[in-house]
């Protein structure tokens, strides 16, 4: 199974008193505190991993339909650009899913590399094996990006190499090949829900699906609040965010609500390039590209996150929608 695993505990944080936060931001912006939303606006670049196939496919759905649902949702929320990070092996395994890549390009969204087989850098048999897998992932992307720059890599599992030699070796190879790394700062762990959602869809258990969605959207709100507080702790401000989502049935079903929650929280959608121009994304790190950006920076700079409350857990999904 293919997941971009992120530890929810990494998003532990402390909430500021909302009135103080609102006032401080309004003063910082030199504006009257007319609306908390306007004062708390922040930029978000949306990115989608694991094209063309993430997780199990419920009966009656198609990968093409899931891709088009994503594209329609991005358009409805005026997301100007969403990088789609591709595992080239999926279109060999499921050739019909290749249409997702063509639809993505027709909608004006770029494609980047997520390695051929979703190979984690730390788990690869060797650095060279990982480089070979990343290289094999290029053909499906380059063929569809024409003259546009497609050399952007999202590490599978956000694994930029636990071992310094392997990290530095991969970083040197990526640089020599002209790649940029697409960091992540915001995730709602959508990957964790996919298999249970497919099972519940196949079973037709609408009550279980409704409960999953309600729990997920509560987590979305809590993680947005946690992200603000974490960013304040680490940077003294809300930095522009890069959101990680996945090209799966759960993502397609929930992205409209997720973006509505982000809209309500003050999100303004931006391109990855715009977000990565922020100083927070240009800070050098001995572990560049590894894990989540803000947590990595906290570790690099020795900023303690102790005492911050945890983001709510995903919950026990494994028991849902099993045969009775």
Can you tell me the distance from the alpha carbon of 324 to that of 70, in angstroms, rounded to the nearest whole number? 33
Minimum CB separation of residue 151 from Zn ion in Å reads 18
Minimum CB separation of residue 289 from Zn ion in Å reads 14
Evaluate the CA torsion angle 63, 67, 73, 76 in order and state its sign.
Answer: negative
Based on CB atoms, which residue is closest to Zn ion, 54 or 297? 54
Based on CB atoms, which residue is closest to Zn ion, 50 or 190? 50
Beta carbons within 10 angstroms of residue 301's beta carbon: 11
Can you tell me the distance from the alpha carbon of 45 to that of 277, in angstroms, rounded to the nearest whole number? 12
* 3-state DSSP percent of the chain in helix, strand and coil, to 5: 50, 10, 40
Can you tell me the distance from the alpha carbon of 40 to that of 80, in angstroms, rounded to the nearest whole number? 20
Q: Is 49 in the site for Zn ion (CB under 5 A)?
A: yes
Based on CB atoms, which residue is closest to Zn ion, 70 or 228? 70
171-230: which residues touch Zn ion (CB under 5 A)? none
For residues 263 and 48, the answer to whether their CB atoms sit within 8 Å is no
Per-residue buried b or exposed e for 128-143, using 16+ beta carbons within 10 Å of the residue's own CB: eebbebbebbbebbee
Can you tell me the distance from the alpha carbon of 7 to that of 141, in angstroms, rounded to the nearest whole number? 29
Based on CB atoms, which residue is closest to Zn ion, 240 or 251? 251
Region from 46-54, 163-171, 276-284, 302-310 binding Zn ion, contact rule CB under 5 A: 46-54
Residues facing 44 on adjacent strands? 241, 269
Can you tell me the distance from the alpha carbon of 12 to that of 228, in angstroms, rounded to the nearest whole number? 11
Q: Is 159 in the site for Zn ion (CB under 5 A)?
A: no
- Of 12, 43, 50, 183, the residue at the interface with Zn ion (CB under 5 A) is 50
- Of 4, 86, 131, 252, the residue at the interface with Zn ion (CB under 5 A) is 4
119-158: which residues touch Zn ion (CB under 5 A)? 156
Minimum CB separation of residue 29 from Zn ion in Å reads 36
Closest of 224, 315, 202 to residue 13, by C-alpha: 224
Based on CB atoms, which residue is closest to Zn ion, 248 or 266? 248
Query: For helices 98-106 and 63-76, what crossing angle results, to 10°?
Result: 20
Based on CB atoms, which residue is closest to Zn ion, 119 or 280? 119
Minimum CB separation of residue 118 from Zn ion in Å reads 6
Based on CB atoms, which residue is closest to Zn ion, 112 or 156? 156
Residues facing 153 on adjacent strands? 113, 181
Minimum CB separation of residue 23 from Zn ion in Å reads 40
Minimum CB separation of residue 49 from Zn ion in Å reads 4
Based on CB atoms, which residue is closest to Zn ion, 55 or 266? 55
Phi/psi at 51 (5° precision): -70, 135
Minimum CB separation of residue 84 from Zn ion in Å reads 11
Return the structure tokens found at 303: 């900023």
H or E segment and range at residue 151 = none
- Size of site (CB under 5 A) for Zn ion: 4
Based on CB atoms, which residue is closest to Zn ion, 4 or 201? 4
Q: List residues binding Zn ion (CB under 5 A).
A: 4, 49-50, 156
């Amino acid at each position: 199974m293919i997941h971009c695993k992120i530890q929810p505990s990494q998003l532990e944080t402390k909430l500021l008193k909302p009135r103080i936060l609102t006032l401080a931001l309004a003063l910082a912006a030199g504006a009257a505190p007319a609306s908390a939303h306007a004062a708390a606006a922040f930029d978000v670049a949306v990115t989608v991993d694991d094209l063309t196939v993430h997780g199990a496919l419920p009966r009656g759905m198609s990968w093409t339909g899931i891709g088009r649902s994503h594209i329609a949702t991005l358009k409805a929320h005026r997301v100007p650009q969403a990088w789609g990070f591709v595992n080239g092996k999926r279109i060999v395994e499921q050739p019909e899913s290749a249409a997702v890549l063509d639809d993505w390009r027709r909608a004006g969204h770029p494609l980047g590399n997520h390695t051929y087989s979703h190979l984690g850098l730390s788990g690869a048999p060797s650095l060279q094996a990982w480089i070979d897998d990343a290289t094999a992932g290029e053909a499906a992307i380059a063929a569809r990006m024409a003259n546009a720059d497609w050399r952007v890599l999202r590490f599978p599992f956000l694994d930029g190499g636990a071992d310094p030699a392997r990290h530095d070796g991969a970083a040197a190879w990526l640089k020599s090949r002209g790649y940029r790394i697409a960091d992540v700062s915001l995730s709602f762990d959508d990957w964790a829900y996919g298999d249970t959602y497919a099972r519940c869809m196949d079973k037709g258990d609408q009550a279980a699906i409704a409960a999953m969605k309600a729990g997920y959207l509560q987590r979305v709100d809590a993680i947005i609040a946690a992200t603000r507080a974490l960013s304040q702790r680490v940077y003294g401000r809300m930095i522009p965010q890069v959101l990680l989502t996945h090209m799966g049935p759960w993502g397609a079903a929930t992205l409209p609500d997720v973006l509505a929650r982000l809209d309500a929280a003050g999100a303004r959608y931006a391109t990855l390039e715009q977000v990565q121009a922020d100083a927070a994304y240009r800070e050098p790190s001995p572990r560049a590209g590894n894990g989540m950006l803000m947590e990595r920076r906290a570790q690099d700079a020795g900023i303690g996150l102790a005492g911050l409350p945890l983001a709510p857990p995903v919950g026990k999904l494994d028991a849902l929608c099993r045969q009775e």
